[in-house]
Amino acid sequence: MHTRRIGDIEVSAIGLGAMPMSIEGRPDETRSLATIHAALDAGVTLIDTADAYHQYADEVGHNETLIAKALASHDRGKDVLVATKGGHLRPGDGTWTLDGSPEHIKEACEASLRRLGVEAIGLYQFHRPDPKVPYAESVGAVRDLLDAGKIRMAGISNANPEQIRQASEILGGRLVSVQNQFSPAFRSSEPELRLCDELGIAFLPWSPLGGISRAGELGSVHAPFARIAEVHGVSPQQVCLAWMLAKSPVVVPIPGSSRPETIRDSLAAADLALTADERAELDTV
């Protein structure tokens, strides 16, 4: 597996987005554990989660607990950087709400520490700006967690360029990651990607294949990805991830998966080299 860097940690060039294993439509635990183990067997050393990745109100942190169980039962579990997030909430009725208050972020981090069974979280990211709370206060809570040794690295998610610069300043230059939505159908995070490239901050595209319900349709919706996939004898999904990797060395896609076969297919994209003409064509889709 090729590698990239998040802060001072070397991770697999493609990580595993674990959300599909805990929200609506999730598989049974046996298949989820098999999916995580398949990712580890293939060389994954980055897994993305959040305390809000659950379905019902009484199971906050379902995904973190699942990951902790999978890592504890695999001989390479200790080699994995777990990136989790706080600041988002799911009441259990299918909706998402926000709480960016410093009090909540610090309480959420403590709960994540317990579920993951670690003394310090490898990468902790503020999940989404809360319009009711000044951004500086939310990021300031993450800074406090970093200073206290509760987390080893700090990141933000769903941020714009101004917020990236602000977070970097508040964290004293210790911002290591930005996790934003980015896919062939959602390219409005290009400015954030370019800024991360400029600043040397890891950019983690979430839903890089278009989301849980649309990932399988990528080739039919975006024909050039299917055409180039046929040329190389691979899936359109592999072409998509290879295209993202070619954009900048700071890009570390985290495709979601709930099946061993889909994460194995996604990870093969790290070995796919696209030509300059192919990359240019995909940029204009």
CB atoms within 10 A of CB 102: 17
Q: In which band, very low, low, confident or very high, does the pLDDT at 266 lie, cut at 50, 70 and 90?
A: very high
Model confidence at 130: pLDDT above 80: yes
The residue from 53, 56, 124, 135 that is catalytic is 53
Q: How far apart are CA 55 and CA 20, in angstroms?
A: 10
pLDDT of residue 219: 85
Q: Of the candidates 109, 181, 118, which has an alpha carbon nearest to the alpha carbon of residue 143? A: 109
257-to-23, 25, 45, 212 alpha-carbon distances in Å = 12, 12, 15, 8
pLDDT of residue 215: 74
The model carries a pTM of 0.96
Q: With beta carbons less than 8 A apart as the criterion, state whether 39 and 256 touch.
A: no
Q: Give the up-direction half-sphere exposure of residue 164: CA atoms within 13 A in the CB hemisphere.
A: 24
Q: What is the DSSP letter of 17?
A: E
pLDDT of residue 212: 78
- Locate 283 and state its tokens: 């940029």
| pLDDT averaged over every residue in the chain | 96
Position with higher pLDDT, 182 vs 1: 182
**3-class secondary-structure state, position 70:** helix
Which single residue is written with the structure tokens 């635990």? 29
- Locate 164 and state its tokens: 């990236």
pLDDT of residue 45: 98
Q: How far apart are CA 37 and CA 30, in angstroms?
A: 11
**What average pLDDT does the segment 14-40 reach?**
97
**What average pLDDT does the segment 6-26 reach?**
97
Q: Is 135 one of the annotated active-site residues of the chain?
A: no
Q: What is the dihedral of CA 111, 116, 117, 119, to 10 degrees?
A: -70
pLDDT of residue 233: 97
Residues 186-213 pLDDT 10s: 999 999 999 999 999 999 999 999 987 7
pLDDT of residue 220: 87
pLDDT of residue 216: 78
Q: What is the dihedral of CA 191, 127, 88, 79, to 10 degrees?
A: 140
Residues 214-231 pLDDT 10s: 777 898 889 999 999 999
Residues 100-128 pLDDT 10s: 999 999 999 999 999 999 999 999 999 99
